[in-house]
Amino acid sequence: MHIEVIANIGEARSDEFLHKTVIVVDVLRATSTIITALMNGSKGVVPVDTVNKAKELAREGDLLGGERFCKKIPGFDFGNSPLEYTSAALQGKRIILTTTNGTRGIQKAIKADSVLAGALMNGRAAAAAAIDLKRDTVILCAGTQDVFSLEDGLCAGLILEEIAIQLGESQMMTNDFGLAMRGCYLDAKDHLFETILACSNGKKMKKSGFLADVELCSQINISHCVPVLEVDQMVPFQR
């Protein structure tokens, strides 16, 4: 199984995803939020590029979620903090979600055979889902405004490590960037929260009052939920 890791959305080419599985990673915070929303009872999360598209798609009973540059979009029900997406608010509700980077990454991967959402919180489960799908895989790090973000790379490293453990080291190949990110993850795995808090987005989140989000999103393998894109919405992957 070959796993390519791409550093940011700007480096991705949609046609290269044909016949592959793509795991989109946006640790802070879109994919972490999608996982949390589905865990807490949402019937589906529709990822869209723009605020206008989100408003156009919303039907009666739907909830709007999203951010631009870390700030909740005016008039929306939620921002992009996973801590907002509670069971009490979400039961049976569909969420239309638009974020600066993560939902754009999912749309960029639309030509893939399967599009999964990965984060540190579901790294082991995301690895297992990719193995089950039996396709070469691309881990697409969302990054920030087409610039690499360390927390996404660390998550790619976690997923690679989990695939190697589950599938066997000799059965997994990756590109040089993936090899580097696996090494970074192994070096940082015992102090992930501190490492992420020290990186650019971690500092930004703390300054914006989202320290609790960083703490939650830095936890590994706390969820078995792997969102998969079915038609236009993310729903839990069924093994």
Q: Exposed, middle or buried by CB within 10 Å (0-12, 13-18, 19+), for 158?
A: buried
Domain-located, residue 209:
yes
Chain segment 161-207, per-residue pLDDT in tens? 999 999 999 999 999 999 999 999 999 999 999 999 999 999 999 99
Chain segment 9-63, per-residue pLDDT in tens? 999 999 999 999 999 999 999 999 999 999 999 999 999 999 999 999 999 999 9
How many structural domains comprise the chain? 1
- List Cβ neighbours of 213 (8 Å cut-off, separation of 6 or more): 28, 29, 32, 81, 82, 83, 205
Hey, is 223 helix, strand or coil? coil
> pLDDT-derived band of residue 239, with 50, 70 and 90 as boundaries?
confident
Structure tokens at 173: 């190949």
Structure tokens at 107: 């749309």
Domain-located, residue 32:
yes
Chain segment 99-123, per-residue pLDDT in tens? 999 999 999 999 999 999 999 999 9
Domain-located, residue 236:
no
Closest listed residue to residue 201, CA positions, set 34, 10, 50, 8? 8
* Cα–Cα dist 34/225, whole Å: 10
* Residue 123 structural domain: 2-228
Model pTM score? 0.97
Domain-located, residue 238:
no
Domain-located, residue 31:
yes
* Cα–Cα dist 147/189, whole Å: 23
Domain-located, residue 198:
yes
Domain-located, residue 233:
no
* Cα–Cα dist 165/146, whole Å: 31
Residue with tokens 């989990």: 162
Chain segment 75-97, per-residue pLDDT in tens? 999 999 999 999 999 999 999 99
Domain-located, residue 235:
no
The residue type found at 38 is L
CATH, residue 100: 3.90.1560.10
Helix 176-188 with 150-167: angle, nearest 10 deg? 90
